Amino acid sequence: MMSYTSYGFLLLTAAGLAVTGILRQSGKRWVLLAMSLVFMAAAGGYETVLFWFVSTAAGFAAALLLEENFSAGRIFRVRREEKRRTSGEGRMPGEDETPAGASAFAGRRKRGILLIVVAFQLALLAWFKYANLPGYTAEAFYELTGREYEWELIERVSLTGISFYTLMIIGYEIDVYRGETKAVRSFPKFSLFTGYFGHFLQGPIDTWEGAGDSLASPARVSFSDVQDGCLRILSGLFLKLVISERLAVMVDTVYGDYSSYGGGYLMLAAVAFSLQLYTDFCGCMDLVCGVSRLFGVRLAENFRQPFFSESVSEFWRRWHITLGAFLRKYVYIPLGGNRKGVLRKYGNTLAVFLLSGLWHGGKWTFIIGTGLLQGVYMIIGALLEPLAIAFFRFVRVKRTAPILRLLRRIRTFVLITVGFVLFRSDTLTMAGEILLGMLRQSRYPEYAEGVWHSGLGAADFAVLLIALTVLFLISLWREKRGEEKLLRGEAIRTIACFGMLFLILVFGCYGKGYDSSSFIYSRF
């Protein structure tokens, strides 16, 4: 299976850059489309290509119907003109071009088309991702009551990327229906938008306005773009190969025998997984954004230092930004947002996070861990906010004091980490045992090896600590300076590229025991 850290993807990228260097600028999008089809087939197989094509063709045709065939009054005007031509009649003086009710009829037809195409896309997604959800639900219920439930798993093919391109197609259809986006007239352009290798495997969940034009007409690449792209690629590889893969060893060691560990070890593993998930996912985003920059394509940013958040709501504005933007625009606001009273606002919040958890997978560990629990956090936070404001006014302490901001960040990290424990667990029972195990005295199995019995040797553990320190300092710089470049000057940036490449080759994790070809979010 091809992934972003495989040798196959490296060769594919090199071949694409070589061909685009020969062809004219106008031919670049055809190279990107060919690369995307090759990547899709290598990463997911022919089934993935087939169903992606079906979804894309349906979305393309439906958008044309929404914009053209059922514009207000068009169908009535066509029928009336045909009737007059056959009867020899002309238009009566003062007759309105569009009869009464034509606009309403056209509006109903447009809504019908939209509902059909959205239902079709969601039906494909539901079958391939959630066919076993009823069985998992019954199993979870029986586990909580102390009983066993046996059921037969529904076997079906696993479609790579379906969670991402389905949402992109749905968002595009709604934008065309609302008149916010013009329907794309070229099927190859639309196919590149939905199937582009840079966001096919793990996102970001782009919009046509955000990435479609950039893919349809890639910009010319300057030497500065090459430097920025290489730095982003190397940053992603550093996060994945140097940090995430070492954290994965710690997490897998403890979670693999969680009942034998206790207290501090389970807490350490929970913290390690939060950092692993971030460095894995953010590393992938850096890598694909960097590769895209080499081709003159700009993708949406998906992270903005999320662990500096002072509240859960702020965290979800910084983590998986494009998914949050999609749910806010197409679910939360249409449901009424915060415009229809407090109770409706909280209900809409829970609905959005229910869908967010469900999007991650058809298991209740996902639905609760990254869904409902996060919604409950946000509602409780909103309810307590007035009390917090009143308390700090009473004690005459500024809420912006550095120590209070630090405590709020720690609190947010702890709450998010609890949700990620469920996200990492196989079942709700496993998650409950891990969380309860954090309260008992620390212990570890006798066979456990490595520093702090984590499975990591002393050298790997030291590299991990240094790498995490570097990550923290760079993240702190970005938090303070925003988009300001950390490295300036072409010579310094070039030297930095070779230096980072050297560090990755020396300290990256390779070989037995590591799975650098697999990113966590590629499963969703």
Per-residue b or e along 266-285, where b marks 16 or more CB atoms closer than 10 Å to that residue's CB: bbbbbbbbbbbbbbbbbbbb
Q: Please report the pLDDT score of residue 368 as a whole number.
A: 93
Backbone angles phi, psi at 233, to 5 degrees: -60, -45
- State how far Cα 18 lies from the chain centre: 30
Q: For every one of its 524 residues, what pLDDT tens digit does the chain have, with 9 covering 90 and above? A: 788 888 899 999 999 999 988 887 778 889 999 999 999 999 889 999 999 999 999 999 999 998 875 444 444 454 455 555 555 555 545 444 555 555 666 778 888 999 999 999 999 999 988 888 888 888 778 877 777 777 777 877 788 889 999 999 999 999 999 989 999 999 999 999 999 999 998 889 999 988 888 888 888 898 989 999 999 999 999 999 999 999 999 999 999 999 999 889 999 999 999 999 999 999 999 999 999 999 999 999 999 999 999 999 999 999 999 999 999 999 999 999 888 888 999 999 999 999 999 998 888 899 999 999 999 999 999 999 999 889 888 888 888 889 999 999 999 999 999 999 999 998 888 999 999 999 988 888 888 888 888 888 899 999 999 999 999 999 999 998 877 777 788 888 889 899 999 999 888 876 545 555 467 666 65
The alpha carbon dihedral of 424, 430, 431, 436 has a sign of negative
Backbone angles phi, psi at 400, to 5 degrees: -85, 5
Instruction: Please list the alpha-helical segments (H only) found in 328-438.
Output: 342-360, 364-367, 373-395, 402-424, 428-437
Q: Please report the pLDDT score of residue 71 as a whole number.
A: 46
Cβ-count burial of 159 within 10 angstroms (0-12 exposed, 13-18 middle, 19+ buried)?
A: buried
How far apart are alpha carbons 311 and 409 in whole angstroms? 7
Q: Please report the pLDDT score of residue 416 as a whole number.
A: 97
The answer to whether 343 touches 351, Cβ cutoff 8 Å, is no
How far apart are alpha carbons 499 and 235 in whole angstroms? 11
Residue 140: half-sphere exposure toward Cβ, Cα within 13 Å? 21
The SS3 of residue 47 is helix
Active-site hit among 199, 320, 360, 453: 360
Crossing angle, helix 187-195 and helix 28-64, to 10 degrees?
Answer: 100
pTM beyond cutoff 0.95? no
Q: Please report the pLDDT score of residue 125 as a whole number.
A: 92
Residue 319 β-bridge partners: 303
CA-nearest of 312, 431, 314 to 377 is 312
How far apart are alpha carbons 205 and 20 in whole angstroms? 26
Collect all residues with Cβ–Cβ distance below 8 Å to 382 and sequence separation of at least 6.
346
The answer to whether 199 touches 288, Cβ cutoff 8 Å, is yes
How far apart are alpha carbons 509 and 79 in whole angstroms? 68
453 is catalytic: no
Residue 173 β-bridge partners: none
Q: Please report the pLDDT score of residue 76 as a whole number.
A: 45
Q: Please report the pLDDT score of residue 75 as a whole number.
A: 44
Reading the block at residue 332, the tokens are 């939360």
Cβ-count burial of 164 within 10 angstroms (0-12 exposed, 13-18 middle, 19+ buried)?
A: buried
112: left (phi over 0), alpha (psi -120 to 50) or beta: alpha
Q: Please report the pLDDT score of residue 145 as a whole number.
A: 76
Backbone angles phi, psi at 334, to 5 degrees: -60, -30
Please, what is the end-to-end C-alpha distance for the chain in angstroms? 16
Give CA separation, 285 vs 202, 231, 289, 300, 481, in Å: 8, 13, 6, 9, 21
